[in-house]
Amino acid sequence: MSKKKLLTLSLAASLALSATAVSADTLSKQATEKVHVNKDTQTPDFISGTLTEPSDQDAKEIVFTYLEENEDTYKIDKKDLSSFKVISQETDDLGFTKVKLQQKFKGVPVFGSVINAHVDQDGVLTSISGNLAPELYDKKSLKKGATLKAGAAVEKAAADLEEKIGSSPELEAEVTPELVIYSKDGQAHFAYSAEFEFLYPEPGNYQYFVDAKTGDILDSYNQIHEAKPSGGGSSLTGEDSTATGKGVLGDTKSFNTLVNSSGSYLVDRTRGSGIFTYDAKNRTRTPGTLWLDSDNVYNAAYDGAAVDAHTYAGQTYDYFQDVHSRNSYDGNGAELISTVHYGRSYNNAFWSGSQMVYGDGDGNTFVPLSGALDVIAHELTHAVTDTSADLIYQNESGAINESMSDIFGTLVEYHFNNKPDWQVGEDIYTPSVAGDALRSMEDPTLSGDPDHYSKRYTGTGDYGGVHINSGISNKAAFLLANGGSHYGVTVAGIGNDKAGDIYYRTLTQYLTPNSNYSHFRVSTIQAATDLYGASSAEVASVKAAFSAVGVN
């Protein structure tokens, strides 16, 4: 397989791709800019450098002006610019103002086409990250709008889903279709986007795209690990307390509870909007019953899964708050809700779209899955991803999504010195087999996953290899933190703390929904540049780590 090439060009070269003439003054002004071109669209997905002159204008006005001046580079036209929507604007701890924009065409959002623009303290635009859908104005399929009603589109998707899973699901939330433009493989369609979240007959959160003219199913995938979260809540009153209890593996922990005349509840009101842990009692209804104990001592065997879920949710919260100044997964103190003892012998854990859910395992493949800190941190990182980069859960963007969860699951484990290693789920997987794990980040090939981009999976299984191809990034992360040689490339390790800072900035500042591995590389280089400088040893290590796994 051919390797994906990273093209570092001047803006003049990028403009030449769109056959647009530019003046000598423009070429001179833009000569130092670096442009990374998406190989599929042949338009930029990352431009960095001194993109504008200093300005006292609002950051979003600086960005809009730049886009208008470079409309030919992105293969958009002036009337498209009025259809960009500002999703958010915020200033980070380095002084950069990030403006997040959603591309729209004819007033309709283009699915996955989001860009992040950064303006420094002097009002200079320093980067634009993200891939826009080009030349929508030339698509015959978009000349006329939707003709199918939204309700009919939902019925089409529901029928397809029922056929896919074998029965009609019991939905956890009402399906609310949205008209979008769905662009894939050079084709663009008006489509209805719809999500189906359910736990019966099996857990799922399926994303559907239905052609808004023909009713054809354009695409569908299960995004249960990347679903849209929403809070729960508790109106309990009482006094905050500290309890002790034994976890799944028999270790004693202390954790926060709420105590009143009824007893001790697994409610922690000291972190964000609270941490709440529930008991499904081996049923498949969530959240279940808020966990209540009589004496504030949780030592029964049945308590173990709840003790770990509650404690480890708090530790994951603390990692993101203390290390990255992020208040819960959404940055705004969202509640963390967990349900344990879900189903019977259920061998999985997942973010359902509303909360964390943990099975007890069958005792052979898994013990209760909440017994591993890296598993809990992995799943909660999916919620962090969803509320930041929002990486689409299929193909390369889905593999990056999965890898980010493995990376931060491991970093949280190291942060709390909880038997840390570069394996995933080793504490709760196959209890009778010593030394194995769900995945190894040090050597992804142990579980059959690729450790180099040239060996990536290109089929349709696993939603385009979201778990399989995460091995590529996992190996790069291991090398970045620890150092080593791989495929003839030597990487100088920079340690967990610096690697974590770089990946967190990459995830929250530069990655966008449809990022691929090539975009991931330039985004991570930019994050390291922001933190340590373009000529730093850290930037050199980031470049070497991606090169070692064939992402150039």
Active site residue ranges: 379, 467
Contact 8, 46 (CB under 8 A): no
Collapsed DSSP state (helix, strand, coil) of residue 308: helix
Contact 343, 281 (CB under 8 A): no
Secondary structure letter of residue 434 according to DSSP? T
Collapsed DSSP state (helix, strand, coil) of residue 234: coil
Q: Could you give the CA distance from residue 221 to residue 6 in angstroms, rounded to a whole number?
A: 29
What's the Cα-to-Cα distance from 43 to each of 7, 53, 71, 281, rounded to whole Å?
Answer: 11, 23, 11, 53
Q: Could you give the CA distance from residue 52 to residue 49 in angstroms, rounded to a whole number?
A: 9
Angle at 499 between CA 498 and CA 504, to 5 degrees: 100
| Count of C-beta atoms within a 10 Å radius of residue 17 | 17
Return the beta strands (E) in 57-203 as ranges. Answer: 85-91, 97-105, 108-119, 125-129, 170-171, 178-184, 187-200
Residues whose CB is less than 8 angstroms from the CB of residue 47 and which lie 6 or more positions away in sequence, other chains included: 11, 14, 33, 34, 35, 36, 127, 128
Residue with tokens 């299960």: 222
Taking alpha carbons only, the member of 388, 387, 385, 420 closest to residue 403 is: 385
Residue 410: HSE in the Cβ half-sphere, 13 Å Cα cutoff: 28
Phi, psi for 366 (deg, rounded to 5): -140, 150
Residue 112: HSE in the Cβ half-sphere, 13 Å Cα cutoff: 22
How many residues does the structure list for the chain?
552
Token pair, residue 255, equals 């954790």
Name the helix (H) or strand (E) containing 485.
strand 484-486
Residue 166: HSE in the Cβ half-sphere, 13 Å Cα cutoff: 3
Q: Could you give the CA distance from residue 52 to residue 64 in angstroms, rounded to a whole number?
A: 12
Name the helix (H) or strand (E) containing 204.
strand 204-211
Query: For strand 44-48 and strand 252-260, is the pairing parallel, antiparallel, or unpaired?
Result: unpaired
Q: In terms of C-beta density within 10 A (0-12 exposed, 13-18 middle, 19 or more buried), how is residue 90 classed?
A: exposed
- 430-456 as b/e, with b when 16 or more CB fall inside 10 Å? beeeeeebbbbbbbbeebebbbbbebb
Name the helix (H) or strand (E) containing 410.
helix 395-415
